[in-house]
């Protein structure tokens, strides 16, 4: 295992070195070469008819998180629409970086025509990316860790997740107060950007104090423990922002256990069904939904265009929306056409 890990790290370093002479390291939130998801047809024309023999592989972080299961549903729905084969696999958990790499390498060896990958970290799938590139197999990085060498990325503006939540606090707490962040996994682009967006926006206001910002590694239990400690240290805390909904729901439990539900607002990120249900019950204050099923469909559209030989923007940005009790019912729709209309009205 240590020998394998060393080879992975060596390959990653080699990939980064080679890549430096090709494209600049990808910063998906700020990449200028981008197209909004709503503009794909207008900018590049109708999707070319896919070959029914195509096999597209999806490599996910884990299936224990509803967000990633929903992303796979989007891939499969698009695959069924076009009559192509879609194989969606994931690592055992969000810490199984080598397991995820093995999945990607196996799909490449099995002759899949394209890979839609959601890396566990910014680096762990880079060796597979280089292998696919050497075989002219298109790879699309789909949320939320970002491979610096990725030629194509589909996902939302991660920093904006935190910005939207911070602006909610600024609007609803004009006198300010103490707030805290429960971060995701260190070394993951999305977690860093979500935290950065919240921190920069809330502190710029000048009325809020960010008293803690600690990683919980996407774990609900870790988030519960971290939030419990923060609440004991700062009993007058007015709010938490968690980098995903699983952790946010752990924070909700910690807030409730200390009798702070009326005082302390809690926001998450992703828009999973449990988050929506908690919002409707008046527990979780809100989430930033990034619509994984729709994102999966958009990512498959991008992949099929690449397989057909189209030259696309490096980044295709997908939608997101701040969800609270005021709009949770409307955005709970399972009708994708209605959802697209709602998003177009934002």
> Is residue 114 within 8 Å of residue 78, measured between CB atoms?
no
pLDDT at 294 over 70: yes
Nearest to 245 by CA among 283, 271, 280: 271
- The pLDDT value recorded for residue 8 is 43
Average confidence (pLDDT) over 8-37? 70
pTM assigned to the model:
0.90
Residue range 166-211, pLDDT digits in tens: 999 999 999 999 999 999 999 899 999 999 999 999 999 999 999 9
> Is residue 114 within 8 Å of residue 307, measured between CB atoms?
yes
Average confidence (pLDDT) over 312-338? 95
Average confidence (pLDDT) over 127-154? 97
Residue 144, preceding peptide bond in cis (omega within 30° of 0): yes
pLDDT band, very low/low/confident/very high, at 337 (cuts 50, 70, 90): confident
pLDDT at 4 over 80: no
Q: What angle do CA 246, 271, 345 make, to 5 degrees?
A: 165
Residue 297 DSSP one-character state? H
Residue range 39-85, pLDDT digits in tens: 999 999 999 999 999 999 999 999 999 999 999 999 999 999 999 99
Q: What are phi and psi of 65, to 5 degrees?
A: -100, 125
- The pLDDT value recorded for residue 223 is 98
Which residues 6+ apart lie within 8 Å of 107 measured at CB?
A: 57, 59, 87, 89, 115
CATH no. of 35-156+291-318: 3.40.50.2300
* Residue bearing tokens 């009798």: 259
Whole-angstrom Cα distance, residue 270 to residue 191? 12
- The pLDDT value recorded for residue 336 is 82
Residue 264 DSSP one-character state? -
pLDDT band, very low/low/confident/very high, at 216 (cuts 50, 70, 90): very high
Looking at the chain, the whole-number percentage of residues with pLDDT higher than 90 is 89
- The pLDDT value recorded for residue 334 is 86
- The pLDDT value recorded for residue 103 is 98
Q: What are the residue ranges spanned by the domains of the chain?
A: 35-156+291-318, 158-289
Same topology, domains 35-156+291-318 and 158-289? Answer is yes
Average pLDDT, the chain: 93
Nearest to 254 by CA among 233, 277, 270: 233
Average confidence (pLDDT) over 13-41? 78
Whole-angstrom Cα distance, residue 317 to residue 298? 9
pLDDT band, very low/low/confident/very high, at 346 (cuts 50, 70, 90): confident
Which residues 6+ apart lie within 8 Å of 79 measured at CB?
A: 56, 85, 86, 300
Average confidence (pLDDT) over 290-303? 97
pLDDT at 117 over 50: yes
Residue range 222-272, pLDDT digits in tens: 999 999 999 999 999 999 999 999 999 999 999 999 999 999 999 999 999
- The pLDDT value recorded for residue 12 is 45
- Superfamily of domain 158-289, CATH level 4: Response regulator (3.40.50.2300)
pLDDT band, very low/low/confident/very high, at 300 (cuts 50, 70, 90): very high
Whole-angstrom Cα distance, residue 336 to residue 94? 28
pLDDT band, very low/low/confident/very high, at 18 (cuts 50, 70, 90): very low
3-state secondary structure of 180: strand
- The pLDDT value recorded for residue 7 is 45
Instruction: State the Cα torsion 135-316-66-91 to the nearest 10°.
Output: 20
């Amino acid at each position: 295992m240590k020998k394998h890990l060393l080879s992975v790290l060596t390959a990653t370093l080699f990939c980064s070195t080679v890549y430096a002479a090709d494209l600049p390291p990808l910063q998906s939130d700020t990449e200028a070469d981008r197209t909004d998801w709503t503009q794909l047809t207008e900018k590049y024309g109708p999707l070319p008819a896919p070959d029914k023999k195509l096999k597209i592989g999806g490599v996910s972080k884990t299936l224990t998180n509803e967000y990633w299961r929903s992303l796979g549903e989007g891939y499969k729905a698009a695959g069924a629409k076009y009559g192509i084969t879609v194989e969606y696999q994931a690592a055992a958990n969000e810490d199984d970086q080598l397991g995820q790499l093995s999945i990607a390498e196996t799909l490449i060896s099995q002759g899949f025509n394209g890979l839609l990958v959601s890396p566990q970290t910014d680096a762990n799938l880079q060796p597979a990316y280089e292998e696919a590139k050497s075989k002219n197999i298109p790879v699309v990085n789909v949320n939320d860790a970002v491979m610096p060498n990725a030629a194509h990325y589909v996902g939302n503006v991660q920093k904006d997740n935190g910005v939207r939540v911070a602006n909610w606090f600024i609007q609803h707490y004009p006198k300010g107060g103490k707030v805290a962040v429960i971060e995701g996994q260190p070394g993951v682009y999305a977690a860093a950007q979500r935290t950065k967006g919240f921190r920069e926006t809330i502190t710029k206001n000048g009325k809020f104090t960010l008293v803690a910002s600690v990683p919980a590694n996407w774990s609900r239990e870790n988030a519960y423990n971290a939030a419990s400690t923060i609440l004991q240290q700062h009993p007058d805390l007015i709010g938490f922002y968690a980098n995903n909904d699983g952790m946010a729901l752990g924070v909700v439990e910690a807030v409730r256990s200390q009798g702070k539900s009326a005082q302390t607002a809690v926001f998450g990120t992703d828009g999973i069904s449990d988050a929506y249900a908690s919002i409707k019950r008046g527990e979780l204050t809100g989430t930033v939904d990034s619509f994984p099923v729709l994102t999966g469909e958009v990512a498959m559209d991008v992949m099929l265009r690449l397989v057909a030989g189209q030259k696309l923007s490096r980044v295709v940005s997908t939608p997101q929306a701040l969800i609270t009790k005021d709009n949770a019912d409307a955005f709970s729709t399972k009708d994708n056409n209605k959802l697209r209309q709602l998003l177009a009205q934002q």
